[in-house]
Amino acid sequence: MALEINDQLVPDIGYLIYRKCTPSWEIAENVISFYDITYVVEGRGIYTINGVRTR
């Protein structure tokens, strides 16, 4: 069985940041026109999306 890949299903990652943050670091509130994928390796934080806080 051949696997067909649709170009619309392959993400285009245009911006990538690796960051080690201090406890006081924060992201300024902002509206974005793209999808944000955040991967936390260690520690904890609070994300607010459309007014809903997520831990």
> How many angstroms separate the CA atoms of 26 and 7, rounded?
35
User: Taking the model in full, what pTM does it have?
Assistant: 0.47
pLDDT tens digits along 3-22: 666 656 777 777 788 888 88
Per-residue burial over 13-49, b if 16 or more Cβ lie within 10 Å, else e, is eeeeeeeeeeeeeeeeeeeeeeeeeeeeeeeeeeeee
Sequence length of the chain is 55
> How many angstroms separate the CA atoms of 12 and 34, rounded?
11
Average pLDDT over residues 13-40: 83
Question: What is the DSSP code (8-state) at residue 8?
Answer: G
